[in-house]
Amino acid sequence: MYEYIIGTVTAINPAYLVLETQGIGYQIALGNPYRYSGKINQAVKIYVHQVIREDAHLLYGFGKLEEKQLFLRLISVSGIGPKSALAIMANEEHDGMIAAIENSDVTYLTKFPGVGKKTAQQMILDLKGKLGELASDLPLSPTVAVNQAKEEALAALSALGYSDKEIKRISKQLTEDQSKSTDEYLREALKLMMKK
């Protein structure tokens, strides 16, 4: 099992990035790959969780160890798989989710893609009182603007499992600003998704 990989970011896509180390390019799925937009051709350390299925070996990545620990807790809940957990964690304001679990706020939790009332109740049952030490993790901030930032952010939402209807609804609400990075657009979009 891998704890982390240190390598060079060589490509960023809506659902994953490619991290090259020792001549091997690892495809690592992330909730928000565009947080690494300013790190192309730079060395980074990404914490990983490997999932081995009959038809695939998958790597899920995180910028901080606390994010990986939160992911592992989420996938321990019945009804939440790795892809759903990654989509839940894409909104990097984890304190709100943790508070919702602690306060048994089912309505807030059902705003995440793939989380219905039953799954939200299961999250509360399984995780309440177990996430306090993970409540304050700080996301990385980007430094480079991307020309097609808004389109890339919308593509990332689709990769996270949001429907075309949901994406179309919030795309009109995103502020038009050419200086914004994909990461900034994605963060704004995820906040809008949580307000539905």
CATH code at 4-62:
2.40.50.140
* Structure token digits, residue 71: 């992911």
Which CATH superfamily includes the segment(s) 65-134? 5' to 3' exonuclease, C-terminal subdomain (1.10.150.20)
pLDDT recorded at residue 98: 86
Element (H, E) at 26: strand 24-29
* pLDDT reported for residue 139: 37
Structural contact between residues 28 and 60, judged by C-beta atoms closer than 8 angstroms = yes
Do 67 and 80 meet the contact criterion of CB atoms below 8 Å apart?
no
Sign of the CA dihedral 141, 147, 148, 150? positive
The reported pLDDT for the residue numbered 146 is 32
How far is Cα 58 from Cα 60, in angstroms, rounded to an integer? 7
Rounded Cα gap, residues 57 and 55, in angstroms: 7
Per-residue pLDDT tens digits of the chain, which is 196 residues long? 789 999 999 999 999 999 999 999 999 999 889 999 889 999 999 999 999 999 999 999 999 998 999 999 999 999 899 999 998 888 767 888 888 898 898 999 998 888 899 999 999 999 988 886 666 543 333 333 333 677 788 888 888 888 888 887 888 787 777 678 888 888 888 888 887 6
Residue where the block lists tokens 């952010």: 153
